[in-house]
Amino acid sequence: MNNRDFAEYYIRQVAFAGIGSEGQARLASSCVAIVGCGGIGSAAAEQLSRAGVGKIKLIDRDYVEWNNLQRQVLFDEEDARRALPKAVAAARKLKTINSQVHLEPIVADLCSENVEELLEGADLIVDGTDNFETRYLLNDACLKAKRPWIYCAAVSSYGMLMPIIPGRTPCLKCLFPREPEAGRLATCATAGVINSITGLIASLATAEALKLLVESGKAAQGLISVDLWENLFEVRRAGKRSDCPACAQGRYEHLEARGEAAVRLCGRDALQVRPPSPQALDLKGLARRLRKAGEVEENGFLLRLRAQGRELVLFPDGRAIIKGTEDPKEARSFYAEYIGL
């Protein structure tokens, strides 16, 4: 496509008074990081690409599965068949949607050791994660680097969102000083989720992102909650907490907690196991060796082993997702038995 085609690509958006040609130029020179390319993250990535954000970092630790396709709009059946990493599959699809956007797919689990490096250069972060542990980490990293981020969540027919702007708005710790109990109980695996809520929260997040990137001064104030089944739409003003450890006192306890857990829950009936230090594994060689032990597939990005009624997906850095157990000891011994790091 030439420059004239691209002028036409954005013509309806430039015609919108809130953006105009100046706003469009700002979008083109912006970088957004999307953490988690699931239902919300993939839909937001598509909208931000079509809107012409210049650079998008796609950070995700997982791979495409069949149960994602009902709502994760960037993936198709072939991606699930091949078990492609979500960040890679998302970047491939986005490239066909808008070839002008610079895409950086990153297959990694965001943790305290890598979060600052991974978010480097981003003007704004969209939260597409599914757990509070990672959100608190994002909150700390964004406050420290003074990067705005958009807290997003969706489960069943319910979703919420709040733009968090360091120095201006309350932060996630002001809103939820501790991990909400309900968050532990209702997950997309246990309570299900409909695609209209993930799509809606992604649209709201994109609108907030555009408003912030073009410096419109119109960012939503407070927590927006929606329940599409119960017809509930609500904006709740939130206040800063004067005793907030993160935004008031500048103590970033999640960021400073080094030595990430070696094993942690990753969805339902699945655990993530990390090696003591990042590796650079030869997956092809390992696949040849493991063929004797079970059913093995290797796709250039990850290796999948099925054995003893369990499934292990291994990434080149040695990280693995083990399905079929919720017992950390079992997961570790399964990992040790086959991968042996």
Using the contact rule CB under 5 A, the part of the chain among 23-31, 72-80, 240-248, 307-315 near Zn ion is 240-248
Q: Binding Zn ion by CB under 5 A: which of 35, 90, 119, 174?
A: 174
CA 263 – CA 276 distance, rounded (Å): 11
Using the contact rule CB under 5 A, the part of the chain among 39-47, 153-161, 242-250, 253-261 near Zn ion is 242-250
244 touching Zn ion, by CB under 5 A: yes
40 touching Zn ion, by CB under 5 A: no
For Zn ion, the closer of residues 89 and 165 by Cβ is 165
Using the contact rule CB under 5 A, the part of the chain among 88-96, 118-126, 164-172, 283-291 near Zn ion is 164-172
84 touching Zn ion, by CB under 5 A: no
Q: Binding Zn ion by CB under 5 A: which of 173, 211, 254, 323?
A: 173
- The Cα-based distances of 154 to 120, 161, 178, 199, 326 in angstroms read 26, 9, 18, 10, 23
Report the 3 state secondary structure along 147-164. Answer: CCEEEEEEEECEEEEEEE
Q: Binding Zn ion by CB under 5 A: which of 59, 115, 160, 171?
A: 171
For Zn ion, the closer of residues 219 and 244 by Cβ is 244
Judge whether 75 and 42 are in contact, CB under 8 Å.
Answer: yes
- DSSP three-state, residue 244: coil
For Zn ion, the closer of residues 230 and 256 by Cβ is 256
Helices (H), the chain: 3-9, 11-15, 20-28, 39-51, 77-82, 86-97, 115-119, 132-145, 172-175, 181-185, 188-191, 195-213, 253-256, 283-290, 328-338
Using the contact rule CB under 5 A, the part of the chain among 83-91, 201-209, 239-247, 281-289 near Zn ion is 239-247
Applying CB under 5 A, which residues contact Zn ion?
A: 171, 173-174, 244, 246-247
